[in-house]
Amino acid sequence: MKIDWNDIEVFLAVARDGTLSAAGRQLNLSQPTVGRRIQQLEERLSLTLFVRTPYGYKLTDNGVSLVEIAEEIREKIDRFKGCAKMLNEQPSGAVNIACGESFAQLLMDNMENLIFQYPDISIQIQTGTRFVNIEKGDADVAIRSQKPTSPNLYARFLGNCRYAVYASSTYASQNPESKTERRKEDCRWISYHDDKSVLPVTRWMKQQVSPEQVKLYCSTLMALLQGVKSGQGLAALPIFVGKQTQGLIQLTPALTDLNQETWLVLSRNAGRVQAIKAVSAWIGGIFDQLDDEFFQI
């Protein structure tokens, strides 16, 4: 049995409006066309859907039984059309990303690919340790070091960010102990301020290096990198950052006791917005392409 969706739409209009003429006005069809469509549907179903009365068209028991199902079909067709329209549109608009400084730099290095593919999307990147509430709309997407517990948030595991100890080549040559296990006791170190204590690397520093050896505290990654490059001491850095920073040498293999979980987080509802979906897929693709030396799944 082949059913034309347009006949079902006509059936619902007549059931709602009660006359062929009223249904025709709603559907922009002539009265005879509406009548012909109803007759055609009844013949295909082998059912009488309406009783013709002097006052209009009244649903039969069979018609009443089918109205609710027809309404569900129309709702799904409308959703289908809306989804198809949305998929056909080029994603556009502003997407706010909250992440740490190192990840902000990683995103910036790959921004050209996103702009080329989605020229109508604009990106806002906010960094810092202030808690960003995705559910309240503080950001559309976040890169976090912990998996969220809220059922309203979607989280994708991106991998473990691997760290190593770095120094400038000048500092390492002048302080040979920096290349040995005595580096923790005999070398100068650079760390973040205590207000960055939420960072795994800050907690690692407190556990591994005595406060007396930390000679420089920084509030930003840029300042910390500048301190290391200028020979002020050693620092634990993400390997993908250390490798890309000129003038630094890696003093240790990947630290086995410092692995920062990395999660892509967004609101489950936000995933329905084309621009946010596109940006989330772009971020996931960046991390998928990182070498295991930098990120370990």
Report the chain's mean pLDDT, rounded to a whole number: 89
3 state DSSP class of 292: coil
Q: Domain range holding 71?
A: 5-88
pLDDT in tens, 55-111: 889 999 999 999 999 999 888 888 887 767 666 567 888 999 999 888 998 999 899
Residue 85: predicted pLDDT: 63
Residue 136: predicted pLDDT: 83
Domain edge (last residue) among 31, 63, 88: 88
Residue 193: predicted pLDDT: 85
Q: What percent of the chain has pLDDT over 90?
A: 57
Buried b (16+ CB within 10 A) or exposed e, 242-280: beebeebbebbebbeebbbebbbbbbeebeebbbbbbbb
Q: Is the same domain home to 196 and 80?
A: no
Residue 130: predicted pLDDT: 67
Q: Is the same domain home to 28 and 169?
A: no
Q: Give yes or no for residue 238 having a pLDDT over 90.
A: yes
pLDDT in tens, 255-269: 999 988 899 999 887
* 42 vs 33: CA distance, rounded Å: 14
Q: Is the same domain home to 81 and 144?
A: no
Residue 88: predicted pLDDT: 58
Give the CA distances from residue 137 to residues 98, 120, 271, 276, 278, in Å, rounded to whole numbers and listed in that order. 11, 21, 13, 13, 18
Q: Give yes or no for residue 137 having a pLDDT over 90.
A: no
Q: Is the same domain home to 82 and 96?
A: no
Number of domains forming the structure of the chain: 2
DSSP alpha helices (H): ranges in 209-260?
221-229, 239-244
Give the domain CATH number at 80: 1.10.10.10
Max CA-CA distance within the chain?
A: 105
Q: Is the same domain home to 279 and 139?
A: yes
- Nearest-5° Cα angle at 161, 129 to 118: 75
User: Which residues lie across from 266 on neighbouring strands?
Assistant: 141, 154
Domain edge (last residue) among 59, 88, 117: 88
- Inter-residue contact 251 to 136 (CB < 8 Å): no
Give the CA distances from residue 87 to residues 82, 275, 280, in Å, rounded to whole numbers and listed in that order. 9, 11, 16
Residue 89: predicted pLDDT: 64
Residue 297: predicted pLDDT: 63
Q: Is the same domain home to 158 and 171?
A: yes
Q: Give yes or no for residue 280 having a pLDDT over 90.
A: yes
Domain edge (last residue) among 32, 65, 88: 88
Top pLDDT among 82 and 209 is at 209
* For range 50-57, the mean pLDDT: 90
Residue 267: predicted pLDDT: 86
Q: Is the same domain home to 273 and 131?
A: yes
Q: Is the same domain home to 80 and 112?
A: no
Q: Is the same domain home to 51 and 187?
A: no
Give the domain CATH number at 244: 3.40.190.290
Q: Is the same domain home to 207 and 274?
A: yes
* 161 vs 201: CA distance, rounded Å: 11
Q: Give yes or no for residue 230 having a pLDDT over 90.
A: yes
Q: Is the same domain home to 72 and 173?
A: no
Q: Is the same domain home to 11 and 118?
A: no
